[in-house]
Structure 1
């Protein structure tokens, strides 16, 4: 039996704000707001709008869509969403999936191959995704107890390293918003580059972070740890409706010698609590689809035992046959190098020779 679709309604900035104000207890990710959409637009991306979904007169969910125009696979992506305002049951999600299929297949202004969003109860036609888009587990720190109780809840290792950092003269500063872009570009981005090279990941260009700090300034904080008046570690947090997120961070090699990241995060918790935030999400930790997060997991586990599972990102194909062809082509492209490495040397030579002849070149 085909699920009955919900009624959908596109929201203006003002309508979104009124809807959010009417539901003060619902945690709405910053990525699901018009403010984040405006930031994406400044980066040259294309937000497609925010829709509310209703079952009769009851608000069920809200989703903010971002257009992605990658070759052969245009899509609509819901970043860290949708946001649910009712119980997220198996049937409720099936109805939302059916709604999204009907909504965007019939939309003449956009022709996506699929819609990508988080799904807690995957069932056909939900599949994939072609690539994963968001972490699946995070650690959350409760900021409602007093500061002494929060500190006492940390692992003894973290408490000791915080005290050592203080003794070693680590100084934590909150940077004034009007100086954020300049300080990041000249003092902090080199630390990000060092961190990325050391830990084996690719960071954004400095302009991404500068745009983030400029466009979303009222929802962010930039804090920096200094040793001998030299920056060694920094972090950016987001805040929205009383929920904060430890969003970006980087540390130099020398920062590790002084335990600066531990003191920096502890000072950030105190600032966030004072500002009225009730919790701080520490973002992704290791999971089945993100084994590479094991190193940051070790650090984050020092601050809380609370692990929250976030629904996995999936694709909702709108053109199933085309989607299946694209998925097969991408899978072949990803698996081919690994399969080639597994071949014996003689087979590799034959494969190279065949490839060379097809390319109009003589085998070497």
Structure 2
């Protein structure tokens, strides 16, 4: 006999704040707050609100903020870095929540998603996939509840040495006033972000995305930039909510790495975040099975803490299982073809380079 489905209720801001105030022990990610709903709406996305899920006794089980995402071949509803659990997250409780969410959006009047995507700690029916992964699965967390001296001592020797090297190299960190955020970002920081993305092999958002973030979420953000002789080298943006901070976005130049600027920049961020009352700082994703490309940033982040937190993986909850299987198969085939073409292109470039090198050394064709 299956458990009774949960009751779901759309929360207004006051309702959400009442729940948050009644559960100070629960860490609520900023992506699951009304402030983030406003950000999604400012981006032109369809935010479907924050919903509370209670059992038959009226006990709060979880909350979840949903965003409608439209992409070619599929429409989905996504919970970004959630749901937030207020009751014990057992496999049975998680299955009931997933089944409730499936029924909720199967009957929803204004959206017709192919699937709902959310984090799942125990993979089980009705979860499957996902078609693509949507959030990191492991992260480094730095404890800011200790003294400043203890915090510095907790770093690996490489981090402490790199901080001192940056100082000797003349690197200085500036806290950018909120009134200057947009102008500084557009003129100085976004070019660094593009350089970082090209170097590390990822695609950054357009500048307008970050500018919207700064404008809408300003009460929860800080912007710090490392300079040398007036030249911007490295920058970061942090978020803060209920005593938990996140090293959210960052960029650095080639020169920044040579001067060890990112180490001094992050150390200064820890200092100001700790002084502001934050007890921890998440450094976001590190390498995992589904994110091998995060290996480079993992080396940097491990210098600041040994505390690795496992984050539940995102899975899909199909509402149209047959169509979902067809779409997933089509996308897998496209990715395989693209990967094969990329490998062939790489082999061709390698062969051409070898041929050019032989000819340049007089080796003949």
Confirm or deny a common fold (TM above 0.5). Answer: yes
Task: Spell out the pairing of 1:133-152 with structure 2 (5 A cutoff).
Answer: 133-152=134-153
Equivalences for 1:265-344 in 2 at 5 Å? 265-338=266-339
Deviation at 1:341, TM superposition (A): 7.9
Q: Give me the TM-score of the superposition, normalised by structure 2.
A: 0.92
Structure 1 segments, 4+ long, off by >6 Å, are 340-343
Match of 1:218 in 2: 219
The answer on whether the counterparts of 2:95 and 2:126 sit within 8 Å (CA) in structure 1 is: no
The alignment status of 1:257 with 2:270, answered yes or no, reads no
Q: Is the 8 A contact 1:174 1:223 kept in 2?
A: yes
Distance 2:218 2:340 in 1: 47
Asked if the contact 2:286/2:298 (under 8 Å) is kept, the reply is yes
SS at match of 2:118: strand
Q: Which moved more, 1:190-199 or 1:215-224?
A: 190-199
Alignment of 1:101-116 (within 5 A): 101-116=102-117
Give yes or no for contact 2:144–2:270 (8 Å, CA) kept in 1: yes
Q: C-alpha offsets along residues 231-257 of structure 1, whole Å, 9 cap, x if unaligned?
A: 110000000000000000001111112
Q: Which string of whole-angstrom CA distances, capped at 9 and with x for unpartnered residues, describes residues 41-75 of structure 1?
A: 11111101110001122111000000011123111
Secondary structure of the corresponding residue to residue 103 of structure 2: helix
Distance 1:23 1:260, change over 3 A: same
Query: How many angstroms does 1:339 deviate by?
Result: 5.4
1:217-237 per-residue CA deviation (whole Å, 9 max, x = no partner) reads: 000000000101111100000
Render the CA deviation track for 1:105-133: whole Å, top value 9, x for unaligned. Answer: 11122111110000001101210000100
Residue of structure 2 equivalent to 1:196: 197
Secondary structure of 2:53's counterpart equals strand
In structure 1, what is the Cα distance between the partners aligned to 2:102 and 2:321?
A: 11
Change (3 A) 1:322 1:263: same
Aligned to 2:174: 173
Q: Find the counterpart in structure 1 of residue 46 from structure 2.
A: 46
SS at match of 2:238: strand
C-alpha separation in 2, matches of 1:57 and 1:165: 55
Q: CA deviation at 1:203?
A: 0.7
**In 2: Cα distance, 1:128 partner to 1:43 partner:** 27
1:272 to 1:333, Cα distance in 2 relative to 1, 3 A: same
Contact 1:282/1:300 (<8 A) preserved: yes
Tell me what 1:24 maps to: 24
- Rate the CA distance shift 1:104–1:191 in 2: closer, same or farther, 3 A: same
Following superposition of structure 1 onto structure 2, how do residues 7-18 of structure 1 map, counting pairs within 5 Å? 7-18=7-18
Give secondary structure in 2 for the equivalent of 1:35: helix
Alpha carbons of 1:325 and 1:191: their partners in 2 closer, same or farther (altered >3 Å)? Answer: same
CA distance in structure 2 between the aligned counterparts of 1:341 and 1:236, rounded to whole angstroms: 34
Q: Closer, same or farther in 2 for the Cα pair 1:340/1:151, shift >3 Å?
A: closer
> Is 2:139–2:282's contact at 8 Å kept on the other side of the alignment?
yes
Cα distance in structure 1, aligned partners of 2:170 and 2:313: 42
| Equivalent position of 1:352 in the other structure | none
Structure 1 residue aligned with 2:34: 34
Gaps of 5+ in 2: 345-365
Aligned-partner Cα distance in 2 for 1:253–1:83 = 39
1:125–1:157 distance in 2 versus 1, CA, 3 Å = same
